[in-house]
Structure 1
Amino acid sequence: MKQWRKVLIAGMAASMALILGACGGSGNSSTGANKVTVSMYMPGDQTKNYKEVIAAANKQLQKKYPNIQLDMKFIGWGDYTQKYSVMVTSGDSYDLAFVQQYPTNAQKGAYADMTDYLKNGVAKKAYEAVDPAYWKGLTIKDKIYAFPVNANVFAQNALAFNPTFIKKYNLDVSKVHSYADATELLATIKKNEPNVAPFGIGKDFKLSDKALEYPLTNNFPLVVDSSGKDTKIHNIYDLPETQKNLAVLHEWYEKGYLPKDAATSTTGYDYAEDTWFMRQETVGPFDYGNTALKNASGGKDIQYQPITDPYKSEAQSQVALWAISKSSKHKKEAMQVLNALNTDPKLLNTIVWGIQGKQWKFTDEKKGKIETLKDYKPGYFMGAWMMGNNAILYTQNTVTDAMIKTRDDSIKAAKESAMLGFNPDTTSIKTELSNIANVYSKYGPLLDTGTADPIPTIKKMDAELKTAGIDKVISNVQKQYDEFLAKK
């Protein structure tokens, strides 16, 4: 659900040995003569009912694959990017891991090639269950190096609003279609709720702009028009619409609508708490309106308003991926786990919803309808968006047949981004990209969080980006993009 334009940014750990001791290598072990433990590294905190859930999950998994034991290894969101980067760069032999920076790491040779397993092997059934747009987005030189979570193949960034304050101040959020439209609402919260963040954001927040994609991921400020009407690659901060939005955010910052330390803050704003009024979310068809937001908040009726256009995009195809280390000793078994997570409803639903009779119960087993129980609460379930094929998930009895039809119809009707399937070769521009990333990491958070006055700051950044080699990068990627479009 939450994307913030894929905000997790890869970094290196200060002590590689220490981190690998905490999260690598040792997960790839055999348990007895007939069992292979498949390690699965993922961001987030271990659920409070993990032991019970994994026992039930393994019991179901072993009905099809009796020799496999799944072992999930949790790494906190704040640490995952750094530790994952070390795992990848050191060649750690993990079996499965939740992917960061897919194109870059795939091109470096960090991941096992899944192509044969998917098209002709043990995961063929799972491969066929996934929307084809995902495979377009993940294919690099005719090879596939990660398995996507079949869910929100298209999505829209949205501004979400805390119902506590909507009700308290009788606020109308229905007319919010852009950042600027929310100004008066934030002013009301600032005036009346001194301990509440009017717009809860931190250093990883990324400004959303309509119908734009990032050919080099959003670690670099280069974008193209998703509609294909404009085929040129642009620096996003030079676009008039971006500068207009940045001016709004800067005005908000100066008025105290944004946290003063937003550019450096890692403060989280829990969905269930009243520490925030507005936040940015990514919402798609499998969220069934605000149902997913309600679940994440423990039942709060969070309202949202889209601010971007819906496209089946390269970014969405790479939101939630699982990859196998090139040095994994259990590649086939890891693929079998992925196959099961994407084809076995009982397995996936146990992991996502929790234990039947404790976290949930059937209201109509034949239709896969359930209701959650009092023990279904934060800390006792896992995010469906990052686990497996959402099309085989049970749905709450509050999700109607009409909502499911809307989900399916909207997926069929959604347009594909002009950039879907474009994964440029960056071999010849590695030095420039490293330099650009360093410059962007210095200015991006200041601009996106409204901390800096946009126009003078953009001028400074652009000058440094030019020295870093951005013109060469744009020329290189533009040439590849033109060739890609010509073949479509």
Structure 2
Amino acid sequence: MKKWSKVLLGSAAVLGLTTVLTGCGHKDNSSSNGGKTTVSMYMPGDKPKNYSAMIKKANKQLAKKYPDVRLSMKFIGWGDYPQKYNVMVTSGDKYDLAFAQNYPVNAQKGVYADMTDLINKYAPDAKKKIDPAYWKGLTVKGKVYGFPVNANVYANNSVVFNEALLKKNGLSVPKDARTYADFTSTLEKFHAKNPNVAAFAIGQGFKVSPRAMSFVLGNSLPFAIDATGKSKKVFNAYDQPEMQSILKTMHEWYKKGIIPKDAATSNTQYNLQDNTWFSRQETQGPFDYGTHALENASGGKKMVARPITDALKSEAQAQVAVWSISKTSQHKKQAMEVLNALNTDPVLLNNITWGLQGQQWNFTDKAKGKIKTTSKYQPGYFIGAWMMGNNDLLYTQDSVTQKMIDQRKENIKNAKESRDLGWIPQTDEFKTEVTNCSNVMSKYLDILNTGTADPVPTIHKMDKELKTAGYDKIQASLQKQYDKFLANK
């Protein structure tokens, strides 16, 4: 499960935050007191309501293995995190750990500490427990600059429906639905009865999902490859018939009111637990056990999901949840020890990701790691497991059977790899062109992906601007790199 993140603000807005962040950063970042080191850990999201009790218990558990290390979590709202994170890494702020954004670019910029030796020396056990696909997806020129959260190493993007609203309106979702267009009839019928509820709840920053494309410079730029390997070309995703067909469907939905009229500019949060949405797009993988994880995160709301993309171990999935250590951190060893603990100590991890034992949950079978949540298990009292530590250590509710767990392990073992897994393009020779193309895409991404604009004429206009911005130079370099990668694979 993964939140889709908002588009970055312009450079002027980002620069405007520098004073605010750096002014407070040196005050409460990493510190050493009385021989004990406090490791700062920055992450997106709201501070849990039970944070004081949670961090107290976490540090008590952490001290069993690392008596001189303390952890302090720093929370920045989802909407603000990308901008403020950018300020942190570009200003040289002396944070210890941070939830990485745009990992390949920042790793190549040199703003992260090289973790290669740190992992081998201080977290060898944690390293062994992580699927090798993650290390392939995070290696840059033979070095590793991020520590992955071992979770959904492969995933589907799915369209998820609010089951209560389906039943209330006498609607169903076709079992064989595999494309956006397959949902049109259901969405039209819902919108006709409920014009004030978002039929397809999306907003600024949303991206549609072709079935098997890998965006090699991230999905805010158009450069993509066929993840199945049927084609060896680096192409403009927006020129492909599949992408244009999806965007035409979005545009039809927009014109019919299925998509909110202000979607291209809206920062509205459609909370999982609320009935402000009928359908939405979510990323689901093996550790989600279908809709189980989403339903837990919503406080028990039942959902129906239909996958619209192929399940592949990919570069994108390897980089979904990555912890970086600042190059300027004064406590790199201790930061790695915290990561090691989060990836090897189930007591530490579960009292963060499930909330507190005795408060949000209790054991039903401690030996088997089975738990039952309480009425106090609600959003705001835990931190999502997908962004914290090795999900293989998570306790499971009784509703997750051993058969489901065994199937999850088998599915992970048998999942195919995206053709480009292990290829992180080198961007040094076309940095200026990437910036220029990013500026062009920022004008078109939201209006295209939310269906606000008529796709074909808009893409034609966008392509002309991309060509002027240096698209051809980037594409040629990427194609040369990809050919070399495939030849050596």
Report the TM-score range of the alignment, normalised by the length of the smaller protein: over 0.9
Supply the distance in 2 between the matched residues of 1:200 and 1:104 (Cα, whole angstroms).
30
Structure 1 residue 26: deviation in Å?
2.6
Q: Are 2:199 and 2:278, in contact at CA under 8 Å, matched by a contact in 1?
A: yes
Deviation track 1:385-407 (CA, whole Å, cap 9, x = no partner) reads 00000000111111000110111
Contact 1:207–1:448 (Cα < 8 Å) also in 2: yes
How many angstroms apart in 2 are the aligned matches of 1:341 and 1:389? Answer: 7
Query: What is the CA distance between 1:19 and its match in structure 2?
Result: 2.9
- Specify the alignment match of 1:94 in structure 2: 95
Residues 471 and 110 (structure 1 numbering): CA distance in 2 closer, same or farther, change over 3 Å? same
Q: Which residue of 1 aligns with 2:2?
A: 2
Measure how far apart 1:479 and its partner are. Answer: 0.3
1:272 aligns with 2:273: yes
> Are 2:151 and 1:151 aligned?
yes
Count of residues in correspondence between the two structures: 486
Aligned AA (2:360): Q
Residue identity opposite 2:431 in structure 1: K
| Alignment correspondent of 1:139 | 139
Opposite residue 145 of structure 1, the aligned amino acid is Y
Partners of 1:272 and 1:298 within 8 A in 2: yes
Partner of 1:124: 124
Q: Tell me by how many angstroms 1:14 deviates.
A: 3.9
Whole-angstrom CA distance in 2 between matches of 1:136 and 1:23: 36
TM alignment of 1:88-487, pairs within 5 A: 88-119=89-120, 121-173=121-173, 174-487=175-488
3-state SS of paired residue (2:122): coil
Measured in 2, the distance between the counterparts of 1:22 and 1:347 equals 32
SS in 2 for 1:362: strand
Partner SS for 1:52? helix
* TM-score, reference length from structure 1: 0.98
Structure 2: gaps (5+ residues): none
Q: Tell me the percent identity.
A: 59
> Which moves more between the two structures, 325-334 or 28-37?
28-37
Q: Provide the residue aligned with 2:35 in structure 1.
A: 34
Aligned-residue CA RMSD in angstroms? 1.2
What letter matches 1:151 in structure 2? A
Q: Distance in 2 between matches of 1:299 and 1:427?
A: 47
The answer as to whether partners of 2:187 and 2:258 remain within 8 angstroms in 1 is yes
Letter of the 1:136 partner, please give it. Answer: K
Shift of 1:31: 4.8
Residues in 1 aligned to 2:166 and 2:30: alpha-carbon distance in whole angstroms: 52
Aligned amino acid, residue 125 of structure 2? K
8 A contact 1:223–1:235 mirrored in 2 = yes
Shift of residue 23 of structure 1?
5.6
Distance, in Å, in 2 between the alignment partners of 1:22 and 1:169 is 52
Q: Structure 1: how far apart are the matches of 2:294 and 2:30? A: 38
CA distance in 2, matches of 1:327, 1:14: 20
Summarize the Cα distance change of 1:7–1:30 in structure 2 as closer, same or farther, 3 Å threshold: closer
Deviates more, 1:168-177 or 1:42-51: 168-177
Check whether the contact 1:28–1:329 (CA below 8 A) recurs between aligned residues: no
User: 1:67 maps to which residue?
Assistant: 68
Cα displacement (A) at 1:8: 5.5
- Aligned partners of 1:110 and 1:326 also within 8 Å: yes
